[in-house]
Structure 1
Amino acid sequence: MKIPSQASYIINTLYNNGFEAFLVGGCVRDSLLQKSPQDYDITTNALPEDVCRIFDKTIPTGIKHGTITVMVENNAYEVTTYRIDGEYLNNRSPEEVIFVSNIKEDLARRDFTINALAYNDTDGLLDFFNGIDDLNNGIIRCVGDPNKRFNEDALRMLRAIRFSSQLGFSIEESTLRAISQNSSLIQNISVERIADELNKCLLSNNPSNAFILLEHTGLLKYILPELQACVGFDQHTPYHNKDVFMHSLSVVDKVSPKLYLRLAALFHDIAKPPCFFIDEKSVGHFYGHDKEGEIISKEILKRLHYDNDTINKVTILIREHMNVLFKPKDASLKRLIGRVSKELVFDLLELQKSDILSCAPPFLALDSVELMKVKITAILESSVPIHSRDLKINGNDIIQALNIKPGKQVGEILEYLLNLTLDNPELNTRENLLCLLETFKPQ
């Protein structure tokens, strides 16, 4: 394993001061998988105060748990003292840690065998729990008793599924069984930590596999009960050959790995169960599920503490995902762009295309989406107005021309003028728009 020079400097410095040190965890795992590590964590038998004494620039980021951040040329490396964990609180974190001198004791407390690996150039690779075999065989397995590991930190259940999804590994039988047995413990984990793992699942190469495992193990009903309601939900329509859950996962797999786009794909049909009814011919319908889905998805994302920008993008895409326009007119497409935004409109088209391809063939609406894409591209490459800010006059011009006060009416007039120019873009000149002010009639 090739150790970066700065990490090597930290390890060598600790050795030169009478201690030992190893790279540990994810960086060792990823290097063995021929992947580029995101960061390099170091473990040592030096106590936190020793680390602070030995290195010039340190930050006591997690000193309670033995972690000191060592700065090397403005790059941060976490250096953690070998430890065993005390009693865990609420399946989340240990009440205390006990520093030890034996690295095997430290590695024994870690979650999975593939993460319980350590390496330095002096001692080579340390593998006390057959992590290399599990890496070679593509297996996620707990270190020791899986029930104990998940009771210590219930987030590890989600991490097992996330690693399975990211790496394409299977979860070992007793580990998988323990997730099902302990699934209710996930309720003790903060929504921020849960959302972070969900995001990593969504951005993996196999997002649908992750959510199938979440459902299979019973975690889904605690994390996303609204999505659990879609499992096995027969759509009773010739246009769909999958239940709502599997259809949604198919769409997730097909869209690009952008978090907001995959969230929109996951939740785009979330309101189908509450909006479902069957007509007299036993055909299912879901009228209004796009608008109701906007509301439900917003509630879910707020509950999981997503940021406002993500919530806004996801809910816009869900609200508009049914607007596949057949023989679309330019004015209708401009209004669609105005509602969705130039930034998101091609994401919407990708969501619509993936939605169609996840239905039952033939995929008749695909040609319409492709035509929309061609025409929207041409519209965006032109200078035609799409928003009121694209008009050749602004609110101040209206106030002066009509001698009115600033207020709601100015916005109504701008919207009126925009609607006129969407149908007739040649009207977008200062002279024409000032003349058209006379045709505005207040509601």
Structure 2
Amino acid sequence: MPTGIRHGTVTVMIHSHSVEVTTFRTDGSYLDHRHPEAVSFVGDLTSDLARRDFTMNAIALPPDGLIADPFGGVEDIEKGIIRCVGEPERRFEEDALRMFRALRFSARFGFAVEEKTLAAIYAKAPLAASVSAERVRDEVEKMLLTSRPQILLTAIEAGLLDRYLVRRKDEPVSELIRITAMPKKALPRWAALCAILERRGWIDSVQDFLTSLRLDGRTVRCCVDCCELLHTAPPRTTKEWKKLLNHYGVDTASCAAMCYDALIGGKSRDALRAVLKSGECFSVRHLAVTGDDLVELGLRGRELGEMLNFLLDYVMDYPENNRRELLLQLVRGTEEN
């Protein structure tokens, strides 16, 4: 099947399995710093490998079983080095996304970026503006989810994210290393990154920053609310956690708890987990009575809403009293007074 015939790629079906087969090729000019304008098919494996980004990705296994490694990729892997094939600046001029990939591979595998390759990232960083926001978002998230998310400091210092920052200061953002203490989950790590950048003055608006990177609406809302919460001290009591849960929801509360622990310190996550595990009421929908129950007692409109909020506040203080008959009795007594 001609799945990518323009680039010499076909898919061969072998029983129920598919195998992609691509002709050796060389690439033409990269006018948009992302895609070659044309490709030329060749019969030489080394010429094909020469167009790859990094030496560790320029290794092939021919049918004879002898590894083809014309650029020393195996040695670089053994030494833990990310090195461009050929001239680094040319590789990044061809495809600016490769600068992000170099740092991501460094964070993922714990490899060091070779000196000339790193210097070329700093030199060619302005080309990152040509990479789509969606691609940048994906690379940033992949870095965030590694064991070394602080690699983003290098990306920021080099200027790879200048398009999304309102300003870039010279001082290091050492707090990024604190993200390593967080679970490897995208939502809380995005929130922590935003909180750090906002605190440092590198972004003015969490919403604008995430929207420009094409993050989904749920992530944007949660991170905005989480960063707002981080401007205040963590909840200290069970009731304060319940109020936070009622106002922001479980997603944002959980995200904030993880950020509190990582960026400020403490045991917020444990405290929140205890509240959720208790099963105690923290929202109107968890009350043992409903709006319909109060309508039957004659309450309407604003009065009904105020009564539900009164009952919720009462049950937050006395969770054992979240029982239908007791709450209805409380409503009747309140109305009589």
TM-score (norm 1): 0.67
Question: In 2, Cα distance between the equivalents of 1:65 and 1:412?
Answer: 66
Residue aligned with 1:302, SS: helix
Quick one: higher RCO (CA 8 Å, sep 6+), 1 or 2? 2
Structure 1, residues 225-279: CA drift from partner, whole Å, max 9, x if none?
Answer: 24734x52xxxxxxxxxx6x212x132222222111211121113333559xxxx
Deviation at 1:148, TM superposition (A): 1.7
Deviation at 1:184, TM superposition (A): 0.7
Match of 1:246 among 144, 150, 174: 174
Amino acid at match of 1:220: L
Within 5 Å, which residues of 2 pair with 1:356-435?
Answer: 356=264, 366=265, 369-370=266-267, 372=268, 375-402=271-298, 404=300, 411-435=305-329
- Structure 1 equivalent of residue 153 of structure 2: 212
Question: In 2, Cα distance between the equivalents of 1:306 and 1:155?
Answer: 18
Deviation at 1:190, TM superposition (A): 0.4
Q: Does 1:160 align with 2:90?
A: no
Residue aligned with 1:392, SS: coil
8 A contact 1:163–1:169 mirrored in 2: yes
The verdict on how the C-alpha distance between 1:301 and 1:71 changes in structure 2, with shifts beyond 3 A counting, is farther
Structure 1, residues 184-225: CA drift from partner, whole Å, max 9, x if none?
Answer: 1111110111111111111122111x2232134232323x42
Residue aligned with 1:433, SS: helix
**% identical equivalent positions:** 35
TM-score (norm 2): 0.86
The verdict on how the C-alpha distance between 1:157 and 1:389 changes in structure 2, with shifts beyond 3 A counting, is same
Q: RMSD in angstroms over aligned alpha carbons?
A: 2.9
Residue aligned with 1:251, SS: helix
Unaligned runs of 5+ in 2: none
The verdict on how the C-alpha distance between 1:433 and 1:318 changes in structure 2, with shifts beyond 3 A counting, is same
Deviation at 1:180, TM superposition (A): 1.8
Question: In 2, Cα distance between the equivalents of 1:297 and 1:110?
Answer: 36
Question: In 2, Cα distance between the equivalents of 1:72 and 1:298?
Answer: 49
Structure 1, residues 13-55: CA drift from partner, whole Å, max 9, x if none?
Answer: xxxxxxxxxxxxxxxxxxxxxxxxxxxxxxxxxxxxxxx3xxx
- Structure 2 equivalent of residue 312 of structure 1: 221
Runs of 4+ in 1 over 6 A off after TM superposition: none
Question: In 1, Cα distance between the equivalents of 2:23 and 2:199?
Answer: 51
8 A contact 1:85–1:94 mirrored in 2: yes
Amino acid at match of 1:396: D
Question: In 2, Cα distance between the equivalents of 1:377 and 1:414?
Answer: 25
Question: In 1, Cα distance between the equivalents of 2:15 and 2:312?
Answer: 55
The verdict on how the C-alpha distance between 1:185 and 1:203 changes in structure 2, with shifts beyond 3 A counting, is same
Within 5 Å, which residues of 2 pair with 1:83-232?
Answer: 83-208=25-150, 210-222=151-163, 224-226=164-166, 228-229=168-169, 231-232=170-171
Structure 1, residues 378-419: CA drift from partner, whole Å, max 9, x if none?
Answer: 432334211111011223333343264xx7775554334322
Question: In 2, Cα distance between the equivalents of 1:227 and 1:75?
Answer: 50
Deviation at 1:135, TM superposition (A): 1.4
Within 5 Å, which residues of 2 pair with 1:248-397?
Answer: 249-273=176-200, 296-325=205-234, 328-343=236-251, 345-356=253-264, 366=265, 369-370=266-267, 372=268, 375-397=271-293
Amino acid at match of 1:399: V
Question: In 2, Cα distance between the equivalents of 1:348 and 1:201?
Answer: 21
Which range is displaced more, 256-265 or 316-325?
Answer: 316-325
Amino acid at match of 2:276: L
Structure 1, residues 292-322: CA drift from partner, whole Å, max 9, x if none?
Answer: x8x8222211111112232233333322235
Residue aligned with 2:205, SS: helix
Question: In 1, Cα distance between the equivalents of 2:214 and 2:222?
Answer: 15
8 A contact 1:87–1:94 mirrored in 2: yes
Question: In 1, Cα distance between the equivalents of 2:70 and 2:46?
Answer: 7
